[in-house]
Amino acid sequence: MTIGSFLKKKKIREYIDKYNMLNRGDGVVLGLSGGPDSVCLFFVLLALKEEYGLTINAVHINHMIRGKDADEDEEYVRQLCNDFEVPLKAYRIDIPSMAKESGRSVEEEARMARYEAFEEAANSLKDAGINTKIAVAHNADDNAETVLFHMARGTGLDGMCGIAPVRGDIIRPLLAVPKGEILEFLEDNGIAYCIDATNQEVDYDRNRIRHNIMPELNKINDKALDHIFDMTERLSEVADYISFEASGLLQMAKEEDGSLRKRALSTAPRVIASQALKDYLSGFMPFQKDVSAVHIESILELLNEEGERQIQLPYKKTLIISYDKIYVIDKDEEKTKGHFEYREFAYERAMNYPKETYTKWFDCDRIMANIVIRTRAEGDYLVIDSDGNRKSIQDYFVDEKIPRHLRDEVPLVCDGNHVMWVVGHRVSEYYKISENTTRVLEISYTEE
Q: Which DSSP string do the residues of 339-375 spell out, in sequence order?
A: EEEEEEEE--TTPPPP--TTEEEEEGGG--S-EEEE-
CB atoms within 10 A of CB 384: 17
What's the rounded Cα separation, in Å, for the pair 150 and 287? 17
Give the whole-angstrom CA distance, residue 202 versus residue 186: 25
C-alpha span between 139 and 186 (Å, rounded): 15
Residue (of 73, 67, 68) closest to 32 by Cα position? 73
**Full set of structural domains in the chain with CATH:** 3-199 (3.40.50.620), 254-330 (3.30.465.60), 338-447 (3.50.40.10)
Distances (CA, A) of 409 to 51, 120, 300, 378, 442: 65, 45, 28, 15, 22
Give the whole-angstrom CA distance, residue 423 versus residue 427: 8
- How far, CA to CA in Å, does 138 sit from each of 31, 156, 164, 178, 402? 11, 22, 10, 10, 51
Cα–Cα distance for residue pair 227/34, rounded to 1 Å: 29
Instruction: For residue 47, give every residue at least 6 positions away whose Cβ sits within 8 Å of its Cβ, in sequence order, or none.
Output: 3, 4, 7
pLDDT value at position 353? 83
Classify residue 19 by burial, with Cβ atoms within 10 Å: 0-12, 13-18, 19+.
Answer: middle
Annotate 160-197 with three-state secondary structure: HCCCCCEECCEECCCCCCCHHHHHHHHHHCCCCCCCCH
The helix (run of H) or strand (run of E) holding residue 317 is strand 317-322
Local confidence pLDDT in tens for the 448 residues of the chain: 778 777 777 789 999 999 999 999 999 999 999 999 999 999 999 999 999 999 999 999 998 887 888 899 999 999 999 999 999 999 998 888 888 888 888 888 888 999 999 999 999 999 999 999 999 999 999 999 999 998 888 777 888 999 999 999 999 999 999 999 999 999 999 999 998 766 666 566 788 998 899 999 999 999 999 999 999 999 999 999 999 999 999 999 999 889 999 999 999 999 999 999 999 998 888 766 667 777 888 889 888 887 778 888 887 788 888 878 899 888 655 455 678 999 999 999 888 888 888 999 999 999 988 888 888 999 999 999 999 999 999 999 999 888 887 888 899 999 999 999 999 999 999 999 998 999 999 999 987 6
Instruction: Compute the C-alpha angle 44/45/46, nearest 5°.
Output: 90
Residue 424, sorted as left (phi over 0), alpha (psi -120 to 50) or beta, turns out to be left
